[in-house]
């Protein structure tokens, strides 16, 4: 597919999965199951999702000097994203510990590792000339702010996924065209009503669907796709990747939200945040089935 360039700036983590019947209590030891290791991190997940959904993607992030570095770089190579803008820092790569529960929900603990050492100079080079720039808050907030500010110089469409929640996101809003938040993240930034006066807000609500609040204007409701979730860990990131891939093709916000929701649904039906089941064709099948129903 021919599309404008999407630049994703963000985190790279080695995700260690463990299946649990429930979250353990303090002092309690439990046996887990389905131990697994997957490439992850919100930035990497979103970049891979965007590429799988047909976008031309460049990614800016950092890995450590450990054995996980090659593992994470390989995740980019699989979807033909260049590692040109991936820095190597001393010490461990980022890591996430994902506790997967029987209902498809999860609890996650993240250790930043090399993500905390991503430099502003790396970001400046990466965003130059991109048409759409997407970033999140698993790296240091000043990195996200730099990405958005630099993107403005090239008239790129700027997208901030304000996750995990951080108060610094409010200060970034003048450089944001589209803000993607869930209910918790919106509440932490003063609430949906305050946000929608500042910026276009894409409000994700899991099984309740997505609402797009155009800045000071109309509201567009996009229902969720009916699925039986297996692992929701990367569904939100897949939404972001699918959404910006659609934005880069120049479709409407409503259609972009619909394709993002379909991407999230595909990922939630599989184990791991970067399933090969996600593709532009898989997204279109879901969207077209809804239209024809």
What is the b/e burial string over 42-55, where b = at least 16 CB atoms within 10 angstroms of the residue's CB? bbbbbbbbbbbbbb
- The helix/strand/coil state of 264 is helix
| SS3 of the chain: helix, strand, coil, percent, to 5 | 40, 25, 40
E-state strands within 117-169: 132-135, 157-161
Dihedrals phi, psi of 167, to nearest 5 degrees: -60, -25
The alpha carbon of residue 120 and the mean position of all alpha carbons in its chain are separated, in whole angstroms, by 20
Rounded Cα distance between 266 and 286, Å, is 9
How many C-beta neighbours within 10 Å does residue 198 have? 16
Matching residue, tokens 């990614």: 59
Encoding tokens for residue 231?
């692992």
Pairing of strands 5-9, 56-63: parallel
Is 237 a catalytic site residue? Answer: yes
Over the Cα atoms of the chain, what is R_g?
18
Q: 2 CB contacts (<8 Å, ≥6 apart)?
A: none
Choose the catalytic residue: 175, 228, 237, 288.
237
Show which residues are catalytic: 237
């Amino acid at each position: 597919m021919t599309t404008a360039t999407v630049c994703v700036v963000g985190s790279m983590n080695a995700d260690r999965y463990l299946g649990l019947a429930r979250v353990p209590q303090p002092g309690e030891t439990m046996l887990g199951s389905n131990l697994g290791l997957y490439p992850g991190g919100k930035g990497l997940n979103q970049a891979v999702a965007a590429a799988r959904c047909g976008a031309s993607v460049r990614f800016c992030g950092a890995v450590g000097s450990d054995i996980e570095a090659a593992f994470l770089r390989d995740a980019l190579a699989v979807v033909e994203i260049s590692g040109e803008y991936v820095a190597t820092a001393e010490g461990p790569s980022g890591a996430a510990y994902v506790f997967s529960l029987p209902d498809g929900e999860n609890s996650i603990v993240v250790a930043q590792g090399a993500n905390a050492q991503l430099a502003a100079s790396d970001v400046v080079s990466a965003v130059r000339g991109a048409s759409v720039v997407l970033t999140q808050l698993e790296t240091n907030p000043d990195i996200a702010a730099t990405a958005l500010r630099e993107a403005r110089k090239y008239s790129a469409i700027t997208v901030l996924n304000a996750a995990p929640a951080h108060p610094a996101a409010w200060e970034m809003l003048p450089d944001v065209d589209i803000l993607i938040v869930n209910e918790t993240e919106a509440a932490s930034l003063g609430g949906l009503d305050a946000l929608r006066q500042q910026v276009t807000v894409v409000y994700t609500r899991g099984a309740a669907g997505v609402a797009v609040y155009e800045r000071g204007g109309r509201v567009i409701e996009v229902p969720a796709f009916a699925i039986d979730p297996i692992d929701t860990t990367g569904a939100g990131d897949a939404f972001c990747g699918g959404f910006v891939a659609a934005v880069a093709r120049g479709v409407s916000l409503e259609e972009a939200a619909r394709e993002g929701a379909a991407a999230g649904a595909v990922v939630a039906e599989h184990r791991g945040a970067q399933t090969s089941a996600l593709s532009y064709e898989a997204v279109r099948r879901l969207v077209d089935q809804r239209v024809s129903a």
